[in-house]
Structure 1
Amino acid sequence: MNTSAATTARTMWALFEPIHAVAYFAPEAEAAYEEVGLRGFWRGYFAGRAAPLGPVGPEPVVAAFFTFAPAMVARALPDVWSLTTPGRALELRRTGAAAALTRLLAGHEREVERAAEALVPRAAGLEGSGRVLAAANGALDFPDKPVERLWHATTLLREHRGDGHVAALVAAGIDGCEALVLRSAVDVPRTELQPHRGWTDQEWEAAARRLTDRGLLTPDGTATQDGYELLRAAESATDRAAERPWRPLGPDEVATLVRLLTPLATACAAALRFPNPIGVPNPAG
């Protein structure tokens, strides 16, 4: 296996993202938040993912999460902090994810230990300049239990990559809604993006007009060649921005990680649907 660090970064994302994402999609995760009255998916989502930032209001979360409509975020924040604290939300996030992974990865306990041992060095001490969510999560201690260590490592790597992806889109002059509209014209259905990010039809169509004016969409909503190229360039920039943790790995180490993570990612994919709002492909192919 002879691959660039950027290629490795994309390969690893497709494998660690399903492990991280159980904290959003598995029933154990939602049940954990409901213990403190965070009923409904989105209250738990915003409380858990924003908790490393502290008891913030909607504005920093809109900026950091990027593709969510401000009105949607404002329906959850800061009200969730009247029901729980960021510290408690972090505990619930960790225990909910661990419960889901324990169920999904039953029979893979040794692989979980080995994968955690391999990923923690990649995730520990990630360079956080310009990466708000990665840095905030990086300030948290690694848990002791292997399944929790594995989930925390995937979370750090995921937010590190996500911060870089936001930077790539901002550099391309694309805002949060425009990113979704353009993506829906390429490979992820609008039904998987718009309702799960809270944009109104009027906001969606306004974003489409802005993209059309830039020559990135045709009037009927099809991506132009320039639109495809912009997304391709943003994805390539994201891979390059995410490559640092993987640079020290040789081909054999990369191959070992792929062998370790593939069955775990495939098992976790049972908690997801495909296509999905986060755009991760099915590791089972």
Structure 2
Amino acid sequence: MSDPVHPVHPVHPARALWWLFEPVYAVTFLQPESRAAFEAAGLDGGWSGYFAARAAPLGAVGAPPVIAAFFSFAPAAVERALPQVWTRASPERALAARAEGSAAVLARLLAPVAPELVETAATALEEAVDRADCAGRVLAAANAALPRPTDVYGRLWHAATVLREHRGDGHVAALVAAGLDGCEAPVLHCATGADRAVLQPLRGWTDEEWQAAATRLVGRGWLTAAGELTELGRIRHRELEAATDLAAGRVWEHRPDGELDRLTAALRPIAAICRAELPIDPLAMPPVQA
């Protein structure tokens, strides 16, 4: 498959498809319908709602397992939300709020998209979920075990969520295997092109924590003192992306002729609408997820 931004450069199908379904998942947390659903459930429309909604498939967990599973969020940011958030809304209520909000967001945003394309995308992503092996992938497994919604927009969001958590779990494994910690990962991400002014506050790291992580990466030879990738850093970054693609790739292997092209064609207009609403564009930057 080809990179949707630079079609002359082929990329792994797992990465090309992630670029298309990641915006479908991510956009819903930023929209008024989701904020309203979280607030009606007793959550706020900001970080406590986000952490509750994304962690809810795991049950009423405290901060430590969420810090581990989410990986690139500052522990202090997670600890401000968990476990206190469960006194305001149970995991079941948080799940209901995220399902309600995400379906409403997609129904509004995707109104211009032909209904048959939405149905095609939802069905194909659900079939991919059925093929996914969730061994070693805690967030993917917890989401895959949830009942599937019945409306097409809810189905689309749920399937995209399972697949992005599946890829994300594999990406975290690759980061851990490379010896990176939760702050070094977004620092590296910014060295490849992401906007620190956007990403750092989204992950909750202080300037001191960010600089310390950058200093560690300089010491390992991955970054220059100016925060740019060294040749070693570029090699290690490519290795991380290749490992992530490999871990996610089995879902998309050995598919019938034309299947992935049909899924891509259905997802492309959906992803374009969702991507336009994101503060960080996954198609405009090298795709380090965490």
> Within 5 A, what are the aligned runs for 1:6-155?
7-108=12-113, 109-124=115-130, 126-155=132-161
Q: Say whether the 8 Å CA contact 2:2–2:11 is kept in structure 1.
A: no
Deviation at residue 270 of structure 1 after TM alignment? 3.2
Q: Which runs of 5+ in 2 are unaligned?
A: 4-9, 286-290
Q: Say whether the 8 Å CA contact 2:60–2:83 is kept in structure 1.
A: yes
The reply on whether 1:258 has 2:288 as its aligned counterpart is: no
User: CA–CA distance in 2 between the matches of 1:125 and 1:87?
Assistant: 26
Partner of 2:273: 267
Q: Say whether the 8 Å CA contact 1:62–1:70 is kept in structure 2.
A: yes
The residue type equivalent to 2:107 in the other structure is T
User: CA–CA distance in 2 between the matches of 1:228 and 1:20?
Assistant: 28
The reply on whether 1:235 has 2:237 as its aligned counterpart is: no
The residue type equivalent to 1:114 in the other structure is T
Partner of 2:227: 221
User: CA–CA distance in 2 between the matches of 1:113 and 1:258?
Assistant: 13
Moved over 3 A (4+): none
Deviation at residue 8 of structure 1 after TM alignment? 0.9
Cα distance per residue 1:260-285 (max 9 Å; x no partner):
11011112223213xx1xx61159xx
User: CA–CA distance in 2 between the matches of 1:115 and 1:175?
Assistant: 35
Q: Sequence identity of aligned pairs in percent?
A: 54
The residue type equivalent to 1:164 in the other structure is G
Partner of 2:6: none
Cα distance per residue 1:244-273 (max 9 Å; x no partner):
111132341111111111011112223213
CA 1:6–1:122 in structure 2 vs 1: closer, same or farther (change >3 Å)?
farther
Q: When the two structures are aligned, how many residues end up with a matched partner?
A: 278
The residue type equivalent to 2:54 in the other structure is R
Give secondary structure in 2 for the equivalent of 1:144: coil
Cα distance per residue 1:107-148 (max 9 Å; x no partner):
322211111121111012521111110011111111111111
Q: Say whether the 8 Å CA contact 1:6–1:239 is kept in structure 2.
A: no
Name the TM-score, length of structure 2 as normaliser. 0.91
Partner of 2:183: 177
Cα RMSD between the aligned structures?
Answer: 1.9
Partner of 2:7: none
Partner of 1:203: 209
Deviation at residue 6 of structure 1 after TM alignment? 7.5
Cα distance per residue 1:146-185 (max 9 Å; x no partner):
1111111100100000000000010000111011111212
Q: Say whether the 8 Å CA contact 2:59–2:91 is kept in structure 1.
A: yes
Q: Say whether the 8 Å CA contact 2:36–2:45 is kept in structure 1.
A: no
Q: Which runs of 5+ in 1 are unaligned?
A: none
The reply on whether 1:187 has 2:189 as its aligned counterpart is: no
The residue type equivalent to 1:169 in the other structure is L
